[in-house]
Structure 1
Amino acid sequence: MQNQYRLGIDAGGTFTDFILADRKGEVRIFKALSTPNDPTAAIRNGLKLIEEETGLTPQTIVANSDLCINGTTVGLNALITHNGAKTGLIATAGHEDSIEIRLGHKEDGYRYDPEYPPATMLVPRYLRRGIAERVLSTGAVHTPLNEEDVRAACRHFLREEVESVAISFVWSVLHPEHEQRAAEIVREMMPHVRLTVGSQLYPQVREYTRTSTAIVNAYLAPILQRYVEAVDGYFQSLGARHPVRYFQSNGGLALGRIVSDQSVYAINSGPASAPQAALYLGEPWGMQDIITVDMGGTSFDITLTRDGRANVSKNIDFLRYRIGIPMIQVETLGAGGGSIGWIDSMGLMQMGPQSAGSEPGPACYDQGGTKPTTTDANLILGYLNPDGLVGGRLPLNVEKARTAIKTHLADPLGISVERAAYGMFTIVNNNMVNAIRRVSVERGYDPRDFVLNCAGGATGAHITALAREMGIRKVMISKLASGLCAFGQILSDVKYNYMAPAPIRLEGAEAAARLNTLFTDLETRGTADLKADSFTDDQIAIRRSLDMRYVGQVHECTVDVDPFEVTEAALERLKAAFHARHEELYTYSEPQSAVEVVNVESAITGGVDKPARMTVAQGKGAHAALKGTREMIFTASGLAHETPVYDGALLGAGDRITGPAVIQEVTTTIVIEPGWVAELDATGVYLVTLGDAPALADSAARAEALTEDA
């Protein structure tokens, strides 16, 4: 029985998802309400729920799992709420305020807005201490390190009870000795604080980015350390034979000690696993261009894969803080099942970004919430089962939902509750469509060339409406959609990123030799680290990237390449790759101009065995799964139509459903709008395609006929 299971846990803002897979190909999904004040409580509650439904005790599951994987929002929540550790910064004298100067401008989109407030500083001014030292851009020492300044900073931090310290000096990536010595002094005088050294965490050229990344890491490190210790301790108490793996923002797994030291990698760990799951689901049909949308209770996350690779970003502003490390590109919007509807000063209806979350939750949850939310609107529209969600374990109160919408939206606007609910549905969809365009159209991709993949518990009610608005004609919805990120985690590999500064002009044999040596050193170190983690040569894969620019440009772009020996002749391959990427991003290239590298990076991956693919038995026809009908609203008129409702648990491979219809899975509800046809594949994926739309007026007669046939 040993190593029979694999467990994935993804903690979201409202629900914590659990995926339990075994070697026979059975994959089951479970949900428990998240517990923001004690994230480990949700894990305990979820494992208790699994025991109730399967008879498998937490000890049995954990002790017989080859991997237990945790994606957490702990770091993200701490950054959102500014509830991280009390942090001090040791910087080069005169550069204490670089994080406040922020390269002289605000984030993109607000650069010319005089009323846009400054970002909250994670390290207040009184906890930033300048140190006499200076390294030049050549790597030469201009001013030696003043060790007494470092000691004075430590004494100040001790008085202020600082929990975590970040060190970031100018040009430290070319001469790290000053930072290393300062770190020794901090460890000597403050042995109990968490310490982040900029040139070790993010050894890349760009001082502001490196300093900001180091500060964010230091700010989150104590929070993640406590979380990892609690989770590791809990799983060890259950008899875990293997260490818990944590999901990172770079799309790979890591050990707990790595996440504790490099906490910045855990910020957006949940949605970062979605691309892996999407590619796995689409593999039987050769789908590699996929947009995945994940609507949970609090947020709406979008990821994109092109030609089988997820978009990876570096040097971005995330929640108003510059982060340099590579992260799966996730566009996040405050639009979830808990998004609250409200009326602005112009008398117009708006949705979000405020959310009812899990506490108190939507009004229909009947847990004290009184504000109208997306979930309340979907209930009034007839999309959600009034008997309750999550297999009936979460009952819904229709009257509470109606009262919330009537009081806060319908009456003030002078419209019916039904029309207000459809307005809420439409507005939140428009918000999500605009976000999808930001990761597709605004980056040069035509969304009509992509498949839309459904993830998250709330997305199924909106997925065909979103596809219709985007002009997308094919949709994938897995039976595991509501826990797709947790599913992506159990499919993912261990992944670490190794970086080095490389200010090199791509000319001559010496430049080629320097680049080749840099990559070889990084990859030798990465391979050794993975072998120490029990990976073999045939399980280890390498992917390289270079930050490149034309000589004279201010900013660089990242170019991905496969590993090869960098010889003088091979420099032309690198230049060609850069020209192609530059043209893809900016519509032009300058092949006649000189090219230089700024930074290099090697992503080292340790391959993990994938669980067996889910299989669904052959169906007996959709009529066998028909539960009855329910009045539903599909137009702004607010008029309801009798619409068939199907039990997803009774549908089998090959069963086809023509919209309008609703499929009720245990953990999600799928709305098939008029004009769409859904067919369940043997892999547990509904392929939903756009056909010819039937007249809504005929839907009542069709529903009645279907009920009689059943």
Structure 2
Amino acid sequence: MNYRLGVDAGGTFTDFVLADDQGRIHLFKATSTPEDGTRAMADGLAQISEKLRLSVAEILGRTTLCVNGTTVGLNALLQHRGVKTGLICTAGHEDSLEIRLGHKEEGYRYDDTYPPAQILVERHLRMPVRERVLSNGTVHTPLDEQDVRAACACFRREGVQAVAVSLLWSVANDRHERRAAEIVREMLPAVYVSVGTEVFPQMREYTRTSTAVLNAYLGPVLGAYVARIDRFFQDSGLRVPVRYFQSNGGMASRAVMVARAVNAINSGPASAPMAGRHVARPLGIEHFITVDMGGTSFDVTLTHQGRTPVTKDNDFLRYRIGTPMIQVESLGAGGGSIGWIDGMGLLNVGPQSAGATPGPACYGRGGTLPTVTDANVVLGYLNPESLLGGRLAIDAAAARQAIATHLAGPLGIPVEKAAYGIFRIVNNNMVNGMRRVSVERGYDPRDFALIGAGGATALHITALAREIGIRTVLVPQLASGLCAFGQILSDVKYDYMAAAPMRLDAHADTAQLEQRFAALERQGVAVLQQEGIPPERIALRRSIDMRYVGQVHECSVDIGTLAVGPATIGTIKTAFHALHKQLFTYDEPDSLIEVVNIGTTVLGQSAAQPPQLQQAPSGGQASRAISTRRRMIFGADSAAIETPVYDAARLGAGDSVAGPAVIEEPTTTIVLQPGWQARLDASGCYVISAQGDAQAHATDAASRSAHARTSCGTRG
């Protein structure tokens, strides 16, 4: 028996998904230990060992793939706990990080009260060096190496732990930048070095500098984490290298992850679309929005026609990142988000979070502030005694006390009304995030299904769907560990980029573009082969950043494996016109087009996916699965309704549950608001519909389930 292990280390819980050769999928959760992630991992492995009745060494010895998604980079950036960083830049460009292209982020551009971002390199550590490369690659002013050496001497005195090197027009000629980096490595051998043309070798000086600085700021933090995790798994019996999940939606080796630390910033939620495709496929769904509500954050991704957008030049947590990232909308709306009263006497929720320590008041770990989880306990949605199969005790009285003391008392309202207020406000915040990935990007959310991921999502998901107008909701049994599951379904994925400015006129040297693509691909294929991936499992995908001459911003056109040459350039232009019209509602077929950058994604495709089993059929009436009843609140009038609670272990494929109701899975709780109905599909996924739609879709859904051959997980 061989295993695949996905580990998703979140801010509050660390999720473990173990899949074996026979299709059994096991889900475990441990409380995250941000101060030392290996403690949470040891806890999770101990749970796996107890369940399988095998030692940890035996399990890891049979593990052929171990993937770790981490929030270490994200948390270091959120809390500004990266290392002391220096910057070497072209003289006269020391302030590009503060100039930031002359404007604030979208949404705040004209807000004169919005404060500036905290700059990650102090002004006196941004060291100018005399040099100048022109836009055509010719050297106007040779590099003054003494300036570089003086900068290194300053960095040594100041105790700098990482240095970013980003020089003007290095994408046209990187000789000065690489020589400067050589000097830094020679004089400061213990310092982490981040080179702009290695991290983001494309046009845009500010974006390249910002990305290089972020990479330097986080590199030593991620390096220490990766070394600790590698050592832990090796000492525990793992025989294969640990893979790490990147924000571009693919896996990476330890060496690549440390060198490209910036790619770890959004590591966790980037795997959700892969798992979402797996969940939606047996149901014939290609358009879906994945929502992941954990203990700290709420993450949203949109997939249209089976494809999830990957973007560059993102402003993430107020910092510009040029490297490709899965398009994720993140906000501070998790189960640990704290309810508070502002200066105007209005109730707010988040973005502050109780996190894993001390956590919500109901966890009994010292937390006293009211959170979303506490509100769900007061509303009756969560088991008032324990969660996670009894491993997490719940103190319902502490939840009521926290809300009474900090919210209900000061507002002069009942505890139940304050709890429902928390529920409604956090839902509104989450719906706004869903609108940003759909409505604000030209998609009608009513055309999409909603897929729930994360431990807390299913408590809110029918309320969210009702608010935004979505009629079909999917909650897999593995919902609370869906990102960890997505990791073991993913491929190794590396992005190689280059600046390639060229007007596509009659004199365009398309052969040069093809040569540049071929060079990138040789580089990527060589790296994958060094990692032991055979040629038959290596795939390539090309893209070209293009724009009309005179435009400021470009569009990234995916050309697949199309060769660039006179015979194909017309097809590429047509694809650009079509994309431009889709994004901006117009195109200009008679206008001249220019290429700005090119990129190749190199994929090391995973071996055959684990065999998958279907959900066992129903053993009878779903009502037999009712384990208890609780009084629950579903409206602002605070009226409590006696509501059935279903034990998910007693449900089988085909069983239907009508709301209001609660279905308790081992690691998640599904709340069906009045007017919604859930059916457990043969693929191991709850298909939830507004009750008016449920009957109409019953025949079609049964037909799809009969032919389904994939699974989103069976209970292990």
Give the TM-score normalised by structure 1: 0.96
Match of 1:657 in 2: 657
Aligned to 2:323, what secondary structure does the other structure show? coil
Matched, 1:29 2:24: no
What's the offset of the Cα at 1:427?
A: 0.7
The 5-angstrom pairing of residues 226-245 of structure 1 reads 226-245=224-243
Match of 1:462 in 2: 460
Match of 1:278 in 2: 276
What's the offset of the Cα at 1:507?
A: 2.1
Counterpart residue identity of residue 72, structure 2: V
Match of 2:126 in 1: 128
RMSD: 1.2
Match of 1:495 in 2: 493
Matched, 1:588 2:581: no
1:353–1:614 CA distance, 2 compared to 1 (3 A): farther
Aligned to 1:527, what secondary structure does the other structure show? helix
Q: Aligned partners of 2:101 and 2:236: how far apart in 1?
A: 49
Counterpart residue identity of residue 676, structure 1: W
Whether the 8 Å CA contact 2:49–2:59 is kept in 1: the answer is no
Counterpart residue identity of residue 657, structure 1: V
Match of 2:60 in 1: 62
Identify the range of structure 1 (432-441 vs 393-402) with the bigger mean alpha-carbon deviation.
Answer: 393-402
Q: Aligned partners of 1:141 and 1:526: how far apart in 2?
A: 29
1:156 to 154, 157, 176: 154
The 5-angstrom pairing of residues 166-315 of structure 1 reads 166-315=164-313
Q: Aligned partners of 1:98 and 1:578: how far apart in 2?
A: 31
What's the offset of the Cα at 1:692?
A: 3.3
Whether the 8 Å CA contact 1:288–1:307 is kept in 2: the answer is yes
**After superposition, what is the alpha-carbon deviation per residue over 1:48-97, rounded to whole angstroms, capped at 9, x for unaligned?**
22223332322112111010100000111111111011111010011111
**After superposition, what is the alpha-carbon deviation per residue over 1:119-175, rounded to whole angstroms, capped at 9, x for unaligned?**
111110111100000001111111000011111111111111111111000000110
Counterpart residue identity of residue 513, structure 2: L
Aligned to 1:174, what secondary structure does the other structure show? coil
Counterpart residue identity of residue 632, structure 2: M
Matched, 1:630 2:630: yes
Identify the range of structure 1 (602-611 vs 535-544) with the bigger mean alpha-carbon deviation.
Answer: 535-544
Match of 1:441 in 2: 439
Counterpart residue identity of residue 56, structure 1: L
Counterpart residue identity of residue 78, structure 1: A
What's the offset of the Cα at 1:424?
A: 0.9
Structure 2 spans left out of the alignment, 5+ residues: 695-716
Matched, 1:564 2:562: yes
2:102 to 93, 104, 112: 104
Q: Aligned partners of 2:406 and 2:481: how far apart in 1?
A: 32
Match of 1:641 in 2: 641
Identify the range of structure 1 (627-636 vs 522-531) with the bigger mean alpha-carbon deviation.
Answer: 522-531
Match of 1:95 in 2: 93
Q: Aligned partners of 2:149 and 2:526: how far apart in 1?
A: 36
The 5-angstrom pairing of residues 386-465 of structure 1 reads 386-465=384-463
Whether the 8 Å CA contact 2:385–2:396 is kept in 1: the answer is no
Runs of 4+ in 1 over 4 A off after TM superposition: none
Whether the 8 Å CA contact 1:508–1:568 is kept in 2: the answer is no
Match of 1:13 in 2: 11
Whether the 8 Å CA contact 1:110–1:116 is kept in 2: the answer is yes
Whether the 8 Å CA contact 2:379–2:416 is kept in 1: the answer is yes
Aligned to 1:114, what secondary structure does the other structure show? coil
**After superposition, what is the alpha-carbon deviation per residue over 1:605-656, rounded to whole angstroms, capped at 9, x for unaligned?**
1110212224321121312311021111111110001111101122111111
Whether the 8 Å CA contact 2:542–2:562 is kept in 1: the answer is no
What's the offset of the Cα at 1:429?
A: 0.4
Match of 1:611 in 2: 610
Whether the 8 Å CA contact 1:526–1:604 is kept in 2: the answer is yes
Q: Aligned partners of 1:464 and 1:455: how far apart in 2?
A: 13
Aligned to 1:32, what secondary structure does the other structure show? strand
Q: Aligned partners of 1:443 and 1:61: how far apart in 2?
A: 45
Whether the 8 Å CA contact 2:56–2:237 is kept in 1: the answer is no
Identify the range of structure 1 (455-464 vs 43-52) with the bigger mean alpha-carbon deviation.
Answer: 43-52
Whether the 8 Å CA contact 1:27–1:614 is kept in 2: the answer is no
Aligned to 2:241, what secondary structure does the other structure show? coil
Counterpart residue identity of residue 131, structure 2: E
Whether the 8 Å CA contact 2:287–2:447 is kept in 1: the answer is yes
Q: Aligned partners of 1:62 and 1:37: how far apart in 2?
A: 24
Match of 2:668 in 1: 668
Counterpart residue identity of residue 680, structure 1: L
Q: Aligned partners of 2:63 and 2:349: how far apart in 1?
A: 42
Q: Aligned partners of 2:669 and 2:54: how far apart in 1?
A: 27
Aligned to 2:365, what secondary structure does the other structure show? coil
What's the offset of the Cα at 1:550?
A: 0.6
Matched, 1:681 2:671: no
Whether the 8 Å CA contact 1:25–1:615 is kept in 2: the answer is no
Aligned to 1:379, what secondary structure does the other structure show? helix
2:522 to 524, 529, 552: 524
Whether the 8 Å CA contact 2:618–2:655 is kept in 1: the answer is yes
What's the offset of the Cα at 1:684?
A: 1.1
**After superposition, what is the alpha-carbon deviation per residue over 1:487-528, rounded to whole angstroms, capped at 9, x for unaligned?**
000100100000010101112364311211111111122122
Aligned to 1:167, what secondary structure does the other structure show? strand
Aligned to 1:476, what secondary structure does the other structure show? strand
Aligned to 2:532, what secondary structure does the other structure show? coil
Match of 1:535 in 2: 533
Counterpart residue identity of residue 361, structure 1: G
Q: Aligned partners of 2:631 and 2:389: how far apart in 1?
A: 20
Q: Aligned partners of 2:37 and 2:235: how far apart in 1?
A: 17
Whether the 8 Å CA contact 1:675–1:693 is kept in 2: the answer is no
Q: Aligned partners of 2:488 and 2:382: how far apart in 1?
A: 29
Q: Aligned partners of 1:640 and 1:408: how far apart in 2?
A: 23
Aligned to 2:163, what secondary structure does the other structure show? strand
Q: Aligned partners of 1:25 and 1:53: how far apart in 2?
A: 16
Structure 1 spans left out of the alignment, 5+ residues: 695-710
Q: Aligned partners of 2:521 and 2:88: how far apart in 1?
A: 31
Q: Aligned partners of 1:291 and 1:61: how far apart in 2?
A: 35
**After superposition, what is the alpha-carbon deviation per residue over 1:315-370, rounded to whole angstroms, capped at 9, x for unaligned?**
01111110000000110010000111111122211111111111111111111111
**After superposition, what is the alpha-carbon deviation per residue over 1:194-236, rounded to whole angstroms, capped at 9, x for unaligned?**
1111111111010000000000000111011111111111111
Q: Aligned partners of 1:58 and 1:171: how far apart in 2?
A: 52
Q: Aligned partners of 1:683 and 1:185: how far apart in 2?
A: 58
Whether the 8 Å CA contact 2:557–2:575 is kept in 1: the answer is yes
Counterpart residue identity of residue 535, structure 2: D
Aligned to 1:309, what secondary structure does the other structure show? coil
Q: Aligned partners of 2:233 and 2:395: how far apart in 1?
A: 37
Identity value in percent: 61
Aligned to 1:240, what secondary structure does the other structure show? coil
**After superposition, what is the alpha-carbon deviation per residue over 1:276-335, rounded to whole angstroms, capped at 9, x for unaligned?**
000011111221111000000000000111111111110011111100000001100100
Whether the 8 Å CA contact 1:460–1:668 is kept in 2: the answer is yes
Aligned to 1:310, what secondary structure does the other structure show? coil
Whether the 8 Å CA contact 2:492–2:605 is kept in 1: the answer is yes
What's the offset of the Cα at 1:693?
A: 9.9
Counterpart residue identity of residue 244, structure 2: Y
Matched, 1:472 2:450: no
Q: Aligned partners of 1:624 and 1:542: how far apart in 2?
A: 52
2:42 to 37, 41, 44: 44
Match of 2:702 in 1: none
Whether the 8 Å CA contact 1:342–1:408 is kept in 2: the answer is yes
**After superposition, what is the alpha-carbon deviation per residue over 1:522-545, rounded to whole angstroms, capped at 9, x for unaligned?**
112212221222222331221111
Aligned to 1:501, what secondary structure does the other structure show? strand
Counterpart residue identity of residue 681, structure 1: D
Counterpart residue identity of residue 679, structure 1: R
Counterpart residue identity of residue 660, structure 1: P
Give the TM-score normalised by structure 2: 0.95
Whether the 8 Å CA contact 1:363–1:369 is kept in 2: the answer is yes
What's the offset of the Cα at 1:584?
A: 1.2
What's the offset of the Cα at 1:677?
A: 1.3
